[in-house]
Structure 1
Amino acid sequence: MAATATASAGLPGKADLAELAEWVRIASVSSDADRAHDLRRSARWLVEALRRTGFPRAEVWETAGLPAVYASWPAADPAAPVLLVYSHHDVHAVDPSEWQVTEPFSPLLRDGRLHGRGASDAKGQIMSHLWALRTHLAQRTAPAVTVRYLIEGEEEVGSVHLADLLSEHADELTADVVMVSDSMLWSLDEPTVCAAVRGSVTASLTIRGAERDLHSGAVSGAAANAAVELCRLVGLLSDASGRVTLPDFYDAVAAPAPNLRAGVGTVPFDLADWQAETGTFGAPGEAGYTAPERLWARPSAEVARLTAGRTDLPALGLIPAEASADLLFRLVPDQRADQVAGQLRAWLARHRRPGFTYDLEISSTISDPYRTPPDAPALMALTRAVSHAYGAPARHIGNGGAAPGAQLAGACDAPVLFFGTGLPGDRWHGPDERVEIRALRLGVSALTRFLDELQTGDTPARQKV
Structure 2
Amino acid sequence: MSNGIHDFLLSREAELVDELSSWVRIPSVAGLPDRRIEVVRSARWLAGTLREIGFPLVEVWSEDEAPAVYAEWCGAPSAPTVLVYSHHDVRVSKDEQWKETRPHEPVVRDGYVYGRGASDAKGQVIAHLWGIRAHLAKTGLEAPAVNLKLLIEGEEETGSPHLRQLLEDNQDRLAADLVIFSDTMAWHADHPAVCMSMRGTINAHLEVYGPLRDVHGGAVSGPAPNPVLAMARLLGGLYDDKGRITIPGFYDEVVEPSDRRRQELADLPFSEEDWLARSETRSTAGEAGYTVLEQLWTRPAIEATSIVAGDPVGLPRAVIPAVAAVDLSIRTVPNQTVAAVADQLHQWVAENLSPEVDHELTVTIDTGQDPYQTPEDHPAVDALAAAMAEGFGSPVGRMGNAGGGPAQWLVGAAGAPILFFGTGLPEDRWHDSDERASIDVLRKGAATLAHLWPRLAALPPRSQDR
Same fold (TM over 0.5): yes
Relative to structure 1, the CA distance from residue 147 to residue 258 in structure 2 (aligned partners, 3 Å threshold; closer, same or farther) is farther
Partner of 1:32: 32
The alpha carbon displacement at 1:7 in A equals 6.4
Deviations 1:147-193 (A, max 9, x none): 00000000000000110111011111111000111011100111200
Write the distance in 2 (CA, Å) between the matches of 1:59 and 1:344: 41
Partner of 1:13: 13
Indicate if the aligned counterparts of 2:230 and 2:353 stay in contact, CA closer than 8 A: no
* SS of 1:345 mapped into structure 2: helix
Choose 242-251 or 46-55, whichever is displaced more: 242-251
Pairs aligned (count): 459
Deviations 1:10-59 (A, max 9, x none): 25511221111111100000121100110111000000000010000111
Q: Given residue 146 of structure 1, which amino acid in structure 2 is its aligned partner? A: N
Write the distance in 1 (CA, Å) between the matches of 2:89 and 2:161: 13
Deviations 1:400-426 (A, max 9, x none): 111211111122110101111110000
Relative to structure 1, the CA distance from residue 258 to residue 452 in structure 2 (aligned partners, 3 Å threshold; closer, same or farther) is farther
**Pairing 1:102–2:101 present:** yes
Q: Given residue 245 of structure 1, which amino acid in structure 2 is its aligned partner? A: T
Partner of 1:371: 373
* SS of 1:341 mapped into structure 2: helix
Relative to structure 1, the CA distance from residue 63 to residue 244 in structure 2 (aligned partners, 3 Å threshold; closer, same or farther) is farther
Write the distance in 1 (CA, Å) between the matches of 2:73 and 2:384: 20
Partner of 2:69: 69
Write the distance in 2 (CA, Å) between the matches of 1:392 and 1:111: 22
**Pairing 1:306–2:307 present:** yes
Q: Given residue 80 of structure 1, which amino acid in structure 2 is its aligned partner? A: A
Choose 264-273 or 42-51, whichever is displaced more: 264-273
Indicate if the aligned counterparts of 2:125 and 2:182 stay in contact, CA closer than 8 A: yes
Write the distance in 1 (CA, Å) between the matches of 2:313 and 2:265: 46
Indicate if the aligned counterparts of 1:8 and 1:441 stay in contact, CA closer than 8 A: no
Partner of 1:320: 321
Write the distance in 1 (CA, Å) between the matches of 2:289 and 2:215: 45
Write the distance in 2 (CA, Å) between the matches of 1:362 and 1:7: 47
* SS of 1:232 mapped into structure 2: helix
The alpha carbon displacement at 1:342 in A equals 0.9
Relative to structure 1, the CA distance from residue 349 to residue 24 in structure 2 (aligned partners, 3 Å threshold; closer, same or farther) is same
The alpha carbon displacement at 1:9 in A equals 6.5
Q: Given residue 114 of structure 1, which amino acid in structure 2 is its aligned partner? A: V
Choose 124-133 or 402-411, whichever is displaced more: 402-411
* SS of 1:402 mapped into structure 2: coil
* SS of 2:403 mapped into structure 1: strand
**Pairing 1:264–2:265 present:** yes
Q: Given residue 218 of structure 1, which amino acid in structure 2 is its aligned partner? A: A
Indicate if the aligned counterparts of 1:233 and 1:351 stay in contact, CA closer than 8 A: yes
Relative to structure 1, the CA distance from residue 250 to residue 14 in structure 2 (aligned partners, 3 Å threshold; closer, same or farther) is same
Partner of 1:131: 130
Write the distance in 2 (CA, Å) between the matches of 1:316 and 1:226: 16
Q: TM-score, normalised by structure 2?
A: 0.95
* SS of 1:315 mapped into structure 2: coil
* SS of 1:385 mapped into structure 2: helix
Unaligned runs of 5+ in 2: none
Tell me the C-alpha RMSD between the 2 structures. 1.8
Deviations 1:336-395 (A, max 9, x none): 121111110111121133221110001131110000011111122111111222334321
Partner of 1:147: 148
Partner of 2:339: 338
Partner of 1:422: 424
Choose 378-387 or 164-173, whichever is displaced more: 378-387
Q: Given residue 381 of structure 2, which amino acid in structure 1 is its aligned partner? A: L
Choose 396-405 or 307-316, whichever is displaced more: 307-316
Write the distance in 2 (CA, Å) between the matches of 1:324 and 1:111: 41
Write the distance in 2 (CA, Å) between the matches of 1:360 and 1:398: 30
Q: Given residue 453 of structure 2, which amino acid in structure 1 is its aligned partner? A: L
Q: TM-score, normalised by structure 1?
A: 0.95
The alpha carbon displacement at 1:114 in A equals 0.6
**Pairing 1:437–2:436 present:** no
Partner of 2:169: 168
* SS of 2:199 mapped into structure 1: strand
Partner of 2:450: 448
* SS of 1:126 mapped into structure 2: helix
The alpha carbon displacement at 1:277 in A equals 1.2
* SS of 1:446 mapped into structure 2: helix
Q: How does 1:254-293 map to 2 (within 5 A)?
A: 254-257=255-258, 260-293=261-294
* SS of 1:347 mapped into structure 2: helix
Write the distance in 1 (CA, Å) between the matches of 2:64 and 2:358: 34
Partner of 2:227: 226
